Structure 1
Amino acid sequence: MSDEVRSFLDTGIYRLVRDGSKVVFLDPVRIINHSYTRFWVSPSAYYSRSFETTTAALKTDAVEDSRILKKRKRTRAPRDLNESERAAVKRHQEARTFLLNAHKAFLEAAELQALLPELVKSEVSLPTRRASEQKFIQLGSLWQAPLYEISLCFRNKNLSDDTGGYRLGDHGGTIIVHQLYNNLICNETNEDVEAEFQSNRYILPSRSCFHMSDLQQVRNLVPAHSKDGFNFIVIDPPWENGSACQKAVYPTLPNRYFLYLPVKELAHEGGALVALWMTNREKLRIFVENELFPAWGVTKFVLSYWLKVKPDGSLIGELDLFHHRPYECLLLGYINLQNDDSRAMPFEYLGINQVIVSIPGDYSRKPPLGRSYTRPQARKVH
């Protein structure tokens, strides 16, 4: 077993270098489990998506492609692309070469390929997802949302009194109840904490917090002083797209709503790296470059890609399909509040055309970035 494989088994990160480009394979389950002290994520729970291409799915795709082709024939000649479409095709062709090289390097890592089928297996048989699983977005839109409470169960009986919420009786530890929505809920201890909400149990990793809210309340996260801001901000907006609407997985928002996110106000005075997930739509890319990043105070950025593969190493779809391409874009920009020399900005060391390769989890779930894009001693906050 090589040192690279040993490192991968320990960290979940496998680095490949080919033709001057940087390629990283990530195992999200291993990376996430580094954030836990007493619990672990089951691969079968994370990789809940089926990677088998069924006959019905192929038939549906064929019908959709046929419909699109017929529509194009009715409206214009096949080669008569508008400016946005031509730009999208050009951008894809520019990315195609190094994406293919990245995939080739990934396939040539024989030791890694031998491990792939084992990554999605679980040693523990877990029940399938329950139909009653909580839909926090829908619950947050109800009038009862301010009344919902979540209980954090700490094993420490002598927990300090500055954790917020209110306490319940002694149950072998300390139970603190918090308002669930529009409230910053923290676990400032060095071990995982179990949380309970409407008979469902959740895990809050050590030294982490979360804020369940919507855009109307996001300014409550802005610190009083920029020295208390964030160095690393990951944003995965609910962009408008046909797939999300058809599957009704989550509600989407018009692009203009994201202009009002106080990203610059959230940044640390020493600067902040901003990681923005986005779809492959050319219209969206133009909006981000010309309007969104300037509104957020992001002046420079580099582009990375997330290439999605199956457990057998193959891509989850055809690379050259105009729709449903097997990759997504990740823009990495920098907010510089001190107007330092741009040549010294940390994000410049990331380079361009980096490729993250991983097996995707559930729909729209992105791979964790903390251990991949920040310093080794930094800790991912979930």
Structure 2
Amino acid sequence: MDNNLTARQAARLTDSFLVDMVELAGQTDPEDTSSITLTDISDKGDGILVNCLVEHESERASERKWMGRHYLLPPHCSFLLSDLRHVSPLLQDGRQYDLIVIDPPWHNKSVKRKKKYWTLDNDDLRQLPIRDLAADGCLVVMWVTNRQTIHQYVTQELFPEWRVKIIAHWYWLKVTMQGVPVCDLDVSMKKPYETLILGHVCHTETLSKISVPDVKVIASVPSSVHSQKPPLYDILRAYVPKDARCLELFARNLQPGLTSWGNEV
């Protein structure tokens, strides 16, 4: 049985407009990597929003038009529409973050064959300047697939290189509208859950004692959009300062109060 086929067809992306724009802009160095405060995209020109950190400071969500297309911006959000070649605007003014959520487009043969979205090799992630982006005590949260090689790479290579100390493993259980797993737990080829690896960037002993549950299970109905994860910030903010700066890497949509980076954000 093909679960939720109608919803998934309705949610399918019609083109790769934003990805193509980032690819085109990435072929040349950006003229200005400073941030801009967004009052009206229509007044900013068609090209300036790529490779530039954009701040939307309004307390209300607003709809804006850019290059003939309409977008909805949540309140107090900021975003950088770029790829790995141009992540430096995230670092301007020495800005650092208390929470960093990372959802990498892990290399996957099926995804590559079907061309559902662009993917990265593991070593490409080493280009992310996590050491510079993370404030002291930053909570780093990474989505990983169920492949053991991915788990080993993150826990044994990537996190140690970023000086992130692993503190917890959480799980997202995908359930149907009736509250049961979308498939059997003991199926070898496909699992009804995905894993989050959590760690702290700590330079002092006191910060390393921040209490985060070793294991946590979060259940929700999965999105109709392929590979889109549930928003976890209401849960994660309990483990970071009240006025925490939050960053999502490889984001595919905007969230209130967050800075989002990606090539289709």
What TM-score do you get using the length of structure 1 for normalisation?
A: 0.55
Residue in 2 that maps onto 1:365: 228
- Residue by residue, what CA displacement relative to the aligned partner does 1:107-144 show, whole Å, maximum 9, x if unpaired? xxxxxxxxxxxxx9xxxxxx945874453223322369
Alignment partner of 1:136 is 2:88: no
SS at structure 2 position matched to 1:222: helix
Alignment partner of 1:354 is 2:219: no
- Residue by residue, what CA displacement relative to the aligned partner does 1:275-319 show, whole Å, maximum 9, x if unpaired? 100101111111111110011120233100010011122211221
* Structure 2 contact 59–76 (Cα < 8 Å) conserved: yes
Residue in 1 that maps onto 2:206: 341
* Structure 1 segment 1-382 matched on structure 2, within 5 A: 51-52=3-4, 128=10, 132-142=14-24, 163=37, 175-177=43-45, 179-225=48-94, 228-268=95-135, 270-336=136-202, 338-341=203-206, 344=209, 346=210, 349-361=211-223, 362-375=225-238, 380-381=257-258
* Structure 1 contact 235–277 (Cα < 8 Å) conserved: yes
* Structure 2 contact 175–220 (Cα < 8 Å) conserved: yes
Deviation at 1:374, TM superposition (A): 0.9
* Structure 1 contact 223–266 (Cα < 8 Å) conserved: no
Deviation at 1:274, TM superposition (A): 0.5
SS at structure 1 position matched to 2:125: helix
* Structure 1 contact 51–310 (Cα < 8 Å) conserved: no
Q: Partner letter of residue 340 of structure 1?
A: E
- Residue by residue, what CA displacement relative to the aligned partner does 1:185-218 show, whole Å, maximum 9, x if unpaired? 1111211121213332111111111101111111
Cα distance in 1 for partners of 2:40, 2:70 equals 19
Tell which has more relative contact order, 1 or 2 (C-alpha 8 A, sep 6+): 2
**Residue 243 to residue 264, structure 1, CA distance change in 2 (3 Å):** same
Q: Partner letter of residue 146 of structure 2?
A: N
**Residue 281 to residue 130, structure 1, CA distance change in 2 (3 Å):** closer
Residue in 1 that maps onto 2:31: none
Which segments of 5 or more consecutive residues in structure 1 lack a partner in the other structure? Answer: 1-49, 55-119, 121-126, 147-161, 169-174
Q: Greater shift after overlay, 214-223 or 232-241? A: 214-223
Deviation at 1:342, TM superposition (A): 5.8
**Residue 380 to residue 243, structure 1, CA distance change in 2 (3 Å):** farther
Between the two proteins, the alignment pairs up a number of residues equal to 235
Cα distance in 1 for partners of 2:4, 2:12 equals 22
Residue in 2 that maps onto 1:155: none
Cα distance in 1 for partners of 2:88, 2:20 equals 21
Q: Partner letter of residue 373 of structure 1?
A: L
* Structure 1 contact 261–296 (Cα < 8 Å) conserved: no
What TM-score do you get using the length of structure 2 for normalisation?
A: 0.77
Give the number of the structure whose alpha-carbon radius of gyration is greater: 1
Cα distance in 2 for partners of 1:130, 1:304 equals 28
Cα distance in 2 for partners of 1:312, 1:261 equals 40
Cα distance in 2 for partners of 1:143, 1:375 equals 38
* Structure 2 contact 38–57 (Cα < 8 Å) conserved: no
**Residue 215 to residue 290, structure 1, CA distance change in 2 (3 Å):** same
* Structure 1 contact 165–179 (Cα < 8 Å) conserved: no
Instruction: Report the structure, 1 or 2, having the larger strand content.
Output: 2
Identity of aligned residues (%): 31
**Residue 278 to residue 201, structure 1, CA distance change in 2 (3 Å):** same
SS at structure 2 position matched to 1:350: coil
Residue in 1 that maps onto 2:251: none
SS at structure 1 position matched to 2:24: coil
- Residue by residue, what CA displacement relative to the aligned partner does 1:49-81 show, whole Å, maximum 9, x if unpaired? x73489xxxxxxxxxxxxxxxxxxxxxxxxxxx
SS at structure 2 position matched to 1:351: coil
Cα distance in 1 for partners of 2:182, 2:41 equals 48
Which segments of 5 or more consecutive residues in structure 2 lack a partner in the other structure? Answer: 29-35, 244-255, 261-265
- Residue by residue, what CA displacement relative to the aligned partner does 1:209-261 show, whole Å, maximum 9, x if unpaired? 11011111113311443xx3100101011111123223311111110111121
RMSD: 3.1
**Residue 282 to residue 229, structure 1, CA distance change in 2 (3 Å):** same
Instruction: Report the structure, 1 or 2, having the larger helix content.
Output: 1
Cα distance in 2 for partners of 1:326, 1:351 equals 21
* Structure 2 contact 200–208 (Cα < 8 Å) conserved: no
* Structure 1 contact 303–352 (Cα < 8 Å) conserved: yes
Q: Partner letter of residue 274 of structure 1?
A: V
